[in-house]
Structure 1
């Protein structure tokens, strides 16, 4: 019997092609991670411009963002649990599709002159899936980045995320000057990219392990979520209060960028540093990071001078990516494998709760009081983590 020899059997393997084929899913994940945040990053500017064009007041834009953020908090866990019988990639595609339809409804409502409350309603529908979508996306990363390279991957993602939050508002502002509807259409299209590009991870089934009833939030998980809330509040207090800071020091409101740009640049630098370092952070180092963020918030709360306040924002931004990376890696270990999307959704929700907390404080109290309270909250979580590290 003569066996035919296939000509490709002895074909040499191209190492470059093989390496590229392994990296391409990770590249697709990075693109998906970056574009997933575009509606949230560009939303404040795009929604404010839309509200201004329809109602003559930008406060409607704030109402849309508030509705989107509150809906995210409400929908994070229920929507993640509903998708347990799906792979994380499928769950993410469905959630992003839902958000795209809701954002498209805002575009159509604006184009055809619908009453503004409808746009607030559709913004809430769009925000409903944000936490759950992030939970699924983060759980997918484990299938394309080995544990030894997760810190680097998360650092790169954090860097790209900060760049998104810097560039997306600028793009929305530029397109919004042409037409607010055009800006909304653009963020809708870009925000839909994860549904098309997210890599498949067949093993990423949430039902692979026996289901354990009850809450996934244990004491250690709750502690790290509290840290995320405090950090989110510290960052939001500076970003939302930047205009008030500029006015307090006698500058024009437009010069609020004196505080937001250093914050963003230092956070990008922190993301690059954690990517290059590619190491897990020790508990002692995390305590130092939290202390640095507390010091930064305290310097901003002093209201001493522009230079001191800018130094405070630089300190807050510098540790933002290292802390976010540590939270993600730690929760990855603490969460049961089949409930990781749920825990990561909670992590994203914790940041949103921090933003809501800072916004609420700024609504009912002065900027200085808000910064003092946020600093106190940071101090509490820092001392708590330090005590936990000492016990271990």
Structure 2
């Protein structure tokens, strides 16, 4: 390629420039990553309280969450592709602002007493950007962290995300007990923080025109990428089955519904421990270790599905939690290596979408069939993903991300 055009060379150099890594920059990214998911974590409680206040029935809150999740799946790829030729940080801020406006509209509408149908539509509008926003935020990390530090940054992010999913429902419940609208306002305010915290990449934008895909751009859904999306979806369904089915599990063993925390809190604590382990270790897991971790999650799912006792179900939840962060970190690193650089936001958006599809699957099964049947079906899906990963790992070696140092 000719380098005789200084202006062109300067443009391409700027487009591939990374922000010099620094602790404060990475800390801002980690906080942005954890607060980005706050609305989704607080939504089930906050929306349910709003629905009860309007209609006397909490099922309207579930409908709002379903609308938000389905919209996320629908909007992930179109919105990610829309932002290709914009600066990543700037487009991410725009997505977060759009979601904040939708959440504020929900709060204002709920205060005005509008019909539930309007709230469901606004929840869908708020969820539309979630997948794309995650994709761009994860892609930003590649610009601010050295290759050797990605595992640690992702481990810290996974730990903070688990803390968010523990704290957000508590905040939504506490504020919602004062006024249901306050819970929605908290979702909007905390969920807006990534727009303020995301590091400014300066001239580093999306891929330059020379590197952007041309007319014949191929599909990114290659078998190697589909494998990890499948594993993410199965893992998302497994975790969601415990979290969503916690009340049903408590009732099954003769406890009060409030004691659903017997299963959700240990899962979250184990997940935080797994995230800390990933951060301290700061190394990408080998293929054998990843398959072993998938086996542990499958075993945890099987224990929970067995229904033998509270102890076995609790042990299953802990096993699932322990490998949740390590596996999520591996999926992110594996897709980072497999995706073309200019399409990483799209692939990371697909990763979040796969997880959302797992949550939808778990919700649908828990709604349509008995608890034991739903847990057994999800266990089968997890085992299938584990077998697929084992076979693929025996056949080929994944590429290692190139060093940017």
Under TM normalisation by the shorter chain, which class is it? Answer: over 0.9
Residues 1:245 and 2:246 are matched in the alignment = no
Q: 2:376 maps to which residue?
A: 372
Q: How far is 1:91 from its partner?
A: 1.1
For structure 1, list consecutive stretches of 5 or more residues without a partner in the other structure: 1-19
Secondary structure of the corresponding residue to residue 213 of structure 2: coil
CA displacement, residues 281-333 of structure 1 (integer Å, 9 cap, x when unaligned): 00100000000000000000000000110000000000000000000000000
Where 2:182 maps in the other structure, the secondary structure is helix
Alpha-carbon separation, structure 1, partners of 2:88 and 2:389: 31
From 336, 342, 363, the counterpart of 2:346: 342
CA distance in 2, matches of 1:204, 1:368: 49
5 Å-filtered alignment, 1:62-81, equals 62-81=62-81
Which string of whole-angstrom CA distances, capped at 9 and with x for unpartnered residues, describes residues 55-107 of structure 1? 00100000000000000000000000001111110110010011001111101
What is the distance in 2 between the residues matched to 1:197 and 1:266?
28
| Alpha-carbon distance in 2 for matches of 1:391, 1:183 | 50
- The answer (yes or no) to whether the contact 2:42–2:169 under 8 Å persists in 1 is yes
CA distance in 1, matches of 2:188, 2:181: 10
Return the alpha-carbon distance in structure 2 between the equivalents of residues 44 and 214 of structure 1.
38
Larger Rg: 1
Residue 144 of structure 2: SS of its match in structure 1? coil
Match of 2:206 in 1: 205
Native 8 Å contact 1:266 1:314 kept in 2: yes
Residue 13 of structure 1 is matched in structure 2 by none
Pairing of 1:316-327 with structure 2 (within 5 A): 316-327=320-331
Write the mapping of 1:151-162 to structure 2, written as runs, cut at 5 A: 151-162=151-162
2: distance between equivalents of 1:195 and 1:232? 26
Distance 2:274 2:81 in 1: 33
1:215-254 maps to which residues of 2 (within 5 A)? 215-254=219-258
Give me the whole-angstrom Cα distance separating, in 2, the residues matched to 1:121 and 1:253: 30
- Confirm or deny: 8 A CA contact 1:143 1:204 kept in the other structure: no
Tell me which residue corresponds to 1:99.
99
Does residue 30 of the first structure (1) align with residue 34 of the second (2)?
A: no
Which structure 2 residue ranges, 5 or more long, are not aligned? 1-19, 397-405
Take 1:292 and 1:147, find their aligned partners in 2: how far apart are those partners? 28
Q: CA deviation at 1:268?
A: 0.4
1: CA distance between counterparts of 2:71 and 2:21? 38
Q: Hey, what does 1:186 align to over in structure 2?
A: 186
Aligned-residue CA RMSD (Å)? 1.1
In the alignment, is residue 382 of structure 1 matched against residue 386 of structure 2?
yes
Q: CA deviation at 1:135?
A: 0.2
Distance in structure 1 (CA, Å) of the matches to 2:386 and 2:367:
26
How far the C-alpha of 1:21 sits from its partner, in A, is: 8.4
Q: CA deviation at 1:210?
A: 3.0
User: 1:6-32: CA deviations, max 9, x gaps?
Assistant: xxxxxxxxxxxxxx9822221111111
CA contact (8 A) 1:84 1:207 kept: no
1:391 maps to 395
Q: Does the 8 Å contact 2:156/2:276 carry over to 1?
A: yes
Aligned residue pairs total 373
1:279 aligns with 2:280: no
1:12 matched to which residue of 2?
A: none
Deviation at 1:214, TM superposition (A): 3.2
Deviation at 1:112, TM superposition (A): 1.1
Deviations 1:344-387 (A, max 9, x none): 00000000000000011111111100111111111111111111
Give, in whole Å, the separation in 2 of the partners of 1:278 and 1:287. 18
- 1:204 shift after superposition: 3.7
Q: Distance between the aligned counterparts of 1:22 and 1:233, measured in 2?
A: 36
Check whether the contact 1:300–1:310 (CA below 8 A) recurs between aligned residues: yes
CA distance in 2, matches of 1:284, 1:207: 37
User: Aligned partners of 1:204, 1:382: CA distance in 2, in Å?
Assistant: 37
Change in 2 beyond 3 A, CA 1:358/1:207: farther
TM-score by length of 2: 0.91
Runs of at least 4 residues off by over 3 Å = none
